[in-house]
A and B are shown apart, each in its own frame.
Chain A
Amino acid sequence: MKRVAIVGYAQHPILKNAGALNEVELIMPVVHQLFNDLGISQKDIDFTCSGSCDYLQGAAFAFVEGLSAIQTNPPIKESHVEMDAAWAMYESMLKIQMGDAETALIYGFGKSSPGDLDAIISLQMDPYYISPLWPDRVSLAALQARVLLNQNIISQEQMLATVMEARANSKNNKNALITDLIDESDYLNNPMVSSPLNKLDCPPISDGSSAMIIASEEKAYEFTDHPIWIEGIDHRIESSNLGSRNLATSNTLQASIKQLNLKNIKFDVAELHTQFSHEVPFLKFLLNLQDVPTNLSGGPLVGNVMMCAGLDAVGKTYESLKENQLTHGLAHATSGPCLQHNMLVHLEAKK
């Protein structure tokens, strides 16, 4: 496999409501920042891939408007995934592995504020058996939370600790949306949204964008003295037949752990795309991260731009390795109800 590295990452401040800014105006600053930081332009990019959800914007092919944010003349090689931009990164990896590109620009964007996110996400599922019931994403996550609590795989105390830690860590990310701290009584007195999840167990509605540039080994050192290598990347999806899944475990993550030989790696840091508090202790248990500093950026509980949060997990891991001279980082991205589809990315900084 060709060696590929992350050479840059930029994140827009996460906003509760981007207001007058539209998607193009959210994407432009992060792409420009990356280009300025690296001293490059669109001409140095062989392949561009974005991740977004047309139905956040309310129109089929809405993502095409996002391309107004970048230079498309002369014509560019471009693709899009109707998913979190972590998968745009995956597609870019494939492009580089196939020899069709040496450099790739990845960007994700999403405004959740204009629409009803719960209604939109409920329509992403099986249109015969599930979507007609309009189950919102919190209720679905809550179904898994209850199973995990019931089987003592996680505890209420762990959920509380996760929320408090997320708030405390938010100070590490200048772009975080929520930074105020909470105490135990705030949590215990918080009304349930969909039991057993209360409002603090859930991520905030967020608007924003993120961008990343990856490059093959040949090109990476032209951009930076400190490329962070993508040592392993793997993604798997479980059945969309929700009732046939075992919500107390994750077959997909177990398969990826094996594929990437993660059991033999001691990670220095991890960032997980955990939108709900119960998912942190659950994933830490599955991924054996109990002693690993996790979600030092605060994670999705302090800012959760749909279609970016997975890429942000990769980007925040990259930043951690670079800024703290650490070696091994693990990033996780997810999609679908109850952690149906998961990606693991092993990043390594070589000395």
Chain B
Amino acid sequence: MSDSKDLLRAPFELAYNYKRSSGPVMSEFFEALGQQKILGTKSRAGKVFSPAAEFDPETHESLKEMVEVGPGGSVESFSWIEAPQNHHLIKDPFAFALIKLDGADSSMLHMIADCNEADLSIGTRVTAAWSETSDKRITDIKFFTLEK
């Protein structure tokens, strides 16, 4: 009784389409992305978090003050993917990166594309490249590219 004869396999796809409430802080952040502006929230101590955080992760202060940051920033870390997988949004080689936008004290996870691995190091300056259409999601920033 071979294993391959007994192996019943079937492909299936699990799909859900959730609509999540954004709340006041993130709604404003996503609205601004729709206008190609990147916002951050500022704590009483003056620390700025972008993407806009609802709470200061250390002090737990509720954050409401919005400030504009970016669109340029510097690379805090990156990982280069020469062979993107099926689920990746970018099909050519690209990097995931933590980018500290100008004016922010925390970094944003996003992607860097339209460059080579050799162009990137910690500290490289990058700037936001925008999607043609806006869905008011984090993907309105299509990816980041090298600052000219």
Q: Does A143 contact B (CB under 8 A)?
A: yes
Is B14 a contact of A140 with CB atoms below 8 Å? Answer: no
Q: How far is the CA of A322 from the CA of B50 in the complex (A)?
A: 50
- B81 interfacial by beta-carbon distance below 8 Å: yes
A118: which B residues are within 8 A, CB to CB? 85, 87
A127 vs B23: C-alpha distance when bound (angstroms): 13
The residue from A133, A144, A147 contacting B109, defined by CB atoms under 8 A apart: A133
The answer to whether B137 touches A132, judged by C-beta atoms less than 8 angstroms apart, is yes
Whether A293 sits at the interface, judged by CB under 8 Å, is: no
Is A194 close to B, CB under 8 A? yes
Bound: A145/B78 CA distance, A: 10
B89 touches A133 (CB 8 A): yes
Known: A239-B57, A244-B106. A195 touches B3 (CB 8 A): no
From known contacts A58-B12, A127-B20, A147-B77, infer whether A243 and B6 are also in contact, taking CB-CB under 8 Å. Answer: no
Interface size on B, residues (CB 8 A): 43
A341 at the interface (CB under 8 A from B): no
With CB as the reference atom, state the residue of chain A lying closest to B8.
Answer: A20
Whether a CB of chain B sits under 8 angstroms from the CB of A197 is yes
In the bound assembly, the distance between CA atoms of A239 and B100 in angstroms comes to 17
Chain B residues touching A, majority SS:
mixed
B110 touches A133 (CB 8 A): yes
Query: Known contacts being A133-B139, A143-B96, A146-B79, is A20 close to B7, with CB within 8 Å?
Result: yes
Q: Measured between alpha carbons, how far is A242 from B53 in the docked complex, in Å?
A: 11
B contact residues around A20 at 8 Å (CB): 3, 6-8
Interface residues of A in 97-134 (CB under 8 A from B): 116, 118-119, 122, 127-130, 132-134
Q: A143-B79, A194-B79 are in contact. Are A135 and B109 (CB under 8 A)?
A: yes
Q: Which of B88, B98, B117 contacts A134 (CB 8 A)?
A: B88
Question: Does A39 lie at the interface of the complex (its beta carbon under 8 Å from any beta carbon of B)?
Answer: no
Given A128-B20, A129-B51, A241-B49 in contact, is the A143-B77 Cβ separation under 8 Å? Answer: yes
* Known pairs A129-B109, A150-B122; A241 contacts B7 (CB<8 A): no
Bound complex: CA A212 to CA B133 (Å) = 53
Q: How far is the CA of A132 from the CA of B137 in the complex (A)?
A: 8
Say yes or no: A146 contacts B110, CB within 8 Å: no
B109 touches A119 (CB 8 A): no
Bound CA–CA A147/B107 (angstroms) = 13
Q: Does B108 contact A (CB under 8 A)?
A: yes
Q: Does B35 contact A (CB under 8 A)?
A: no
Residue of A58, A133, A140 near B138 (CB, 8 A) is: A133
Cα–Cα distance between A315 and B139 once the two chains are bound (Å):
43
User: Are A197 and B106 interface neighbours, CB within 8 A?
Assistant: no
Assess the B20–A59 pair: CB atoms within 8 A.
no
Asked whether any CB of chain A lies closer than 8 Å to the CB of B17, the reply is no
- Given A128-B26, A129-B109: A191 and B79 within 8 A (CB)? no
The reply on B80 being an interface residue by CB < 8 A is: yes
Instruction: Report Cα–Cα, A135/B143, bound state, in Å.
Output: 13
Measured in the bound complex, the distance between the Cα atoms of B50 and A142 in whole Å is 21
| Cβ B78 vs Cβ A143 within 8 A | yes
Give B65-108 as 1s and 0s: 1 = Cβ < 8 Å from A's Cβ atoms: 00000000000111111100111110000001110100000111
**Is A196 part of the binding interface, using a Cβ–Cβ cutoff of 8 Å?**
yes
Contacts of A139 in B (CB 8 A): 79, 81, 96
Most buried by A among B8, B12, B87, B97: B87
Q: Can you list 10 A-B pairs, Cβ within 8 angstroms, ordered by A?
A: A58-B14, A122-B87, A136-B85, A140-B96, A143-B79, A145-B79, A146-B78, A147-B122, A194-B79, A241-B53
Q: Which residues of A contact B (CB under 8 A)?
A: 19-20, 55, 58-59, 116, 118-119, 122, 127-130, 132-136, 138-140, 142-147, 150, 191-197, 239, 241-245, 247
Q: Could you tell me which B residues sit within 8 Å of A by CB distance?
A: 3, 6-8, 12, 14, 18, 20, 22, 26, 49-51, 53, 57-58, 76-82, 85-89, 96-98, 100, 106-111, 117, 122, 137-139
- In the A-B complex, list the 3 residue pairs whose CB atoms are closest, starting with the nearest: A142-B79, A239-B57, A243-B107
Identify 8 new A-B residue pairs, CB closer than 8 A, beyond the known A143-B79, A146-B122, A244-B57: A128-B138, A132-B137, A133-B96, A133-B138, A134-B88, A150-B122, A239-B58, A243-B109
